[in-house]
């Protein structure tokens, strides 16, 4: 029945938006960002430029 086609398009649209949001949330919480420690700051080599 062609009259029901927009309803299935809306359901498909909501379904793909839901999957997109779940995928983004999963990727957001998958990474563990470690805070910078003071030990890592000591390993940075600084250059003193003499002009």
Alpha-carbon distance of 18 to 16, in angstroms, equals 5
Give me the pLDDT at residue 31, please. 76
CA 9 to chain CA mean position, Å: 27
Alpha-carbon distance of 20 to 14, in angstroms, equals 10
User: Of 36, 33, 12, nearest to 4 (Cα)?
Assistant: 12
Mind listing the pLDDT tens digit for each residue in 34-46?
A: 776 655 555 556 6
Give me the pLDDT at residue 8, please. 85
Alpha-carbon distance of 26 to 20, in angstroms, equals 10
Mind listing the pLDDT tens digit for each residue in 5-51?
A: 777 888 999 999 999 999 999 988 887 777 766 555 555 566 666 66
User: Of 30, 31, 12, 9, nearest to 20 (Cα)?
Assistant: 12
């Amino acid at each position: 029945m062609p009259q029901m086609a927009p309803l299935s398009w809306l359901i498909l649209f909501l379904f793909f938006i839901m999957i997109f949001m779940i995928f983004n949330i999963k990727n957001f919480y998958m990474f563990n960002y470690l805070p910078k420690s003071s030990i890592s700051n000591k390993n940075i080599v600084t250059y003193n430029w003499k002009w």
